[in-house]
Structure 1
Amino acid sequence: MDFQISLLRRQDATNKISVILDPSVLVIGRPDESKKALLAWETVCTPKTAGGFNVVQLRTWNRAAICKLLWCLSNKKDRLWVRWINAYYGKYMHDWAVPKQASWVVQKIIKARTYMLDTGLDVEEVLGWSSFSVKNMYVQMRGNFQKVHWKKLTCNNAGSPKWIFVLNLTAQNKLLTRDRSASWGITQDVICPLCNVENESANHLFFACAFSEGIWATILAWQGIRRNVLEWKDEVQYATTRASGNSVSACIYRMSIAASIYQIWAERNMRIFQSKSGNPDLIIRQVIREVVGRGTMRARLARKLEELNSYP
């Protein structure tokens, strides 16, 4: 994937020019063709069990932190700043009126009551807590999310973070495959670069494509799994029903499917953007080598991987 980053030039009083990043225009995709994001920001900030990446929503976290300041006004009477606010604006706290003459900081603290009400909390009950956790308040403000059925694939996976990232996008059908690019008007070529026969889509790449099917079939055999390669939705269903536990075999399976998807996607990108093609046997060896390398760092997986530590 190509990344486009806007650079802003800023000149200070000393006539020195510095370059800063403008994160508001960071886009994923080809810079001259599309500014569409693969995932909505709201999805990125959801918990991993809900298909997100658990990125903190700064606005919500800031509100939770302000709520703690309001809690301190009722529970930290010995603090100097609390004594000062109560001395000058304590009379307004009885009816929660916001003094107009107060600074914006004090006004923000008093207005934090509305954040609690919007969350469905009783203000008096919150102020009566013996302790206050910004993290717990943030979780309550963020709300509840429906868990995705494939959460075990990404949440309990000992694979590399980059594998998990691509696996997450694949499970949500958010990879920038050629069928999606064509629907956005980015490209007209929709043929799969791996088999050059059928149109490319996530379901085709994993694992209806003859190229990727052969790779995954060999990886399954390497693990000792004797079955045919399934379509992607069926592979996900198999993983969530047969490989969702904490057994050694289930852990190795989750690592293997994540590594295989990542390497297949990397091969696909190399063929498109670098006009190079790799050998399926080398990709299989790469997957096995990386799975064994990461897995042996965990004592409970080391013995099983030592038994599998050979190329099919």
Structure 2
Amino acid sequence: MFRALILKLQQLLISSPPQYLFYAGRVQVLNLVLFGLGNFWCSCILLPQHLRDHISRTSRQFFWGCSAGCRKMVYKSWDNICAPWAKGGFNVKNLTTWNQDHSIWLMNIGEHHPECLRGIIQTRDHCLAQLGSILQVKNMLQQCTVAGKFSIQHAYNALRTKYAVTECSKAIQRGFYLPRHRVLLQLASQNRLVTVDHLASRGLHMVNRCYLCQRNSESAAHLYFYCSYADEVLQAIKQWVGINTSDTSLQQLLSSANKRRIRRHWRIQWVQNSIAATVYSIWSERNLRIFENKCRSSLALIRDIQYTVSTILFVKIQDAFHEDILDNFLASRR
């Protein structure tokens, strides 16, 4: 019965090979595929547990780039991947929670529907485990009613795992970032980048050195704040956007940028995109030296970051102000 669903899922994911996509692209593909499954299949029937586990396993393998018969290291739990952007995740749909949400109000209960009734009971138990009592479940259902209609999205948010909201994650959620910049910034802020010291903690030992400065051992903190090459790039970009703080971590840098009193909205986006583009470019330069044996000077990397940020501002925020004002301002900062 569910063979068509499995084949369709495999066709959709195979059409976008993960090895050719960055994490941001994989997030987009997964959201499209899982959202389509949630709207069509989950609204019609309650999927069996083994099928939901199979879909979740296939989604995890696609996200981490696993090929047939090979496994990849996992640097972030799937529950955290499914968390909202503001709470440190990538906002991927959790099919188990999504399917349980639908079973509360879309399934018709009857004596000839034992499978549906079991699904309703499982969902009830899940709601009680999440919320604590029947009264809280009723209150949640009332709060999920918008303009007299039940909202599946509100119920999904109420039943999903609760995560702490940080200032760093809120800054990442609000900005007009490129998808690849947003995903890498989220990973870097949580110390989830695959640096040499991270690989050593997983049992993969190799020569621990920074590929940018060739002097010290590599870690996420060293890569962005203690490496002479990266520090030159970061200080130049901070001077370009007018940041004078002395930060020792990405969390401090993002919090400092988020707390600055800037009246114009486009200037806030200018600062946030500059930080995100710098983090992404330094990581890309590091990978370029490792895998392709190519390198760029710090001045070339700074120019590339400035060009990227200027392009983002022109394309995404040009309706908010006159284009000549931004053009003259960026020209004066070069």
- Select the residue among 264, 268, 293 that pairs with 2:286: 268
CA pair 169-217 structure 1, distance change in 2 beyond 3 A: same
CA pair 229-273 structure 1, distance change in 2 beyond 3 A: farther
2:248 corresponds in structure 1 to 231
**What SS does the aligned partner of 2:150 have?**
coil
* Structure 1 stretch displaced more, 127-136 or 23-32: 23-32
2:34 corresponds in structure 1 to none
- Residue 48 in 1 paired to residue 85 in 2? yes
1:201 corresponds in structure 2 to 219
What TM-score comes out, normalization by structure 1 length?
0.74
1:289 Cα deviation after fit: 0.8
Instruction: Tell me if the contact between 1:213 and 1:229 (Cα under 8 Å) persists in the aligned partners.
Output: no
* Structure 1 stretch displaced more, 200-209 or 152-161: 152-161
* Structure 1 stretch displaced more, 232-241 or 57-66: 232-241
2:128 corresponds in structure 1 to 117
Instruction: Tell me if the contact between 1:243 and 1:249 (Cα under 8 Å) persists in the aligned partners.
Output: no
1:22 Cα deviation after fit: 5.0
- Select the residue among 152, 155, 176 that pairs with 1:134: 152
1:78 corresponds in structure 2 to none
- Residue 307 in 1 paired to residue 314 in 2? no
Deviations 1:215-242 (A, max 9, x none): 11111222244x3653225423422422
- Residue 253 in 1 paired to residue 271 in 2? yes
- Residue 61 in 1 paired to residue 93 in 2? no
1:144 corresponds in structure 2 to 162
1:26 Cα deviation after fit: 4.4
Deviations 1:142-163 (A, max 9, x none): 1432101212431122121101
CA pair 260-30 structure 1, distance change in 2 beyond 3 A: farther
Instruction: Tell me if the contact between 1:285 and 1:311 (Cα under 8 Å) persists in the aligned partners.
Output: no
**What SS does the aligned partner of 1:276 have?**
coil
2:234 corresponds in structure 1 to 216
Q: Percent identity?
A: 27
CA pair 211-267 structure 1, distance change in 2 beyond 3 A: same
2:26 corresponds in structure 1 to none
* Structure 1 stretch displaced more, 234-243 or 274-283: 234-243
2:75 corresponds in structure 1 to 38
**What SS does the aligned partner of 2:105 have?**
helix
2:176 corresponds in structure 1 to 158
2:10 corresponds in structure 1 to none
Instruction: Tell me if the contact between 1:67 and 1:116 (Cα under 8 Å) persists in the aligned partners.
Output: no
CA distance in 1, matches of 2:263, 2:333: 26
Structure having the larger proportion of residues in helix: 2
CA distance in 2, matches of 1:205, 1:170: 10
CA distance in 2, matches of 1:52, 1:35: 19
CA distance in 1, matches of 2:71, 2:127: 40
1:114 Cα deviation after fit: 3.1
Which structure has the larger Rg?
1
Q: Which runs of 5+ in 2 are unaligned?
A: 1-17, 21-56
CA distance in 1, matches of 2:203, 2:130: 41
1:293 corresponds in structure 2 to 311
**What SS does the aligned partner of 1:170 have?**
helix
What TM-score comes out, normalization by structure 2 length?
0.70
* Structure 1 stretch displaced more, 123-132 or 255-264: 123-132
1:102 Cα deviation after fit: 3.6
Structure having the larger proportion of residues in strand: 1
CA pair 260-40 structure 1, distance change in 2 beyond 3 A: same
**What SS does the aligned partner of 1:159 have?**
coil
1:94 corresponds in structure 2 to none
1:55 Cα deviation after fit: 1.1
* Structure 1 stretch displaced more, 190-199 or 102-111: 102-111
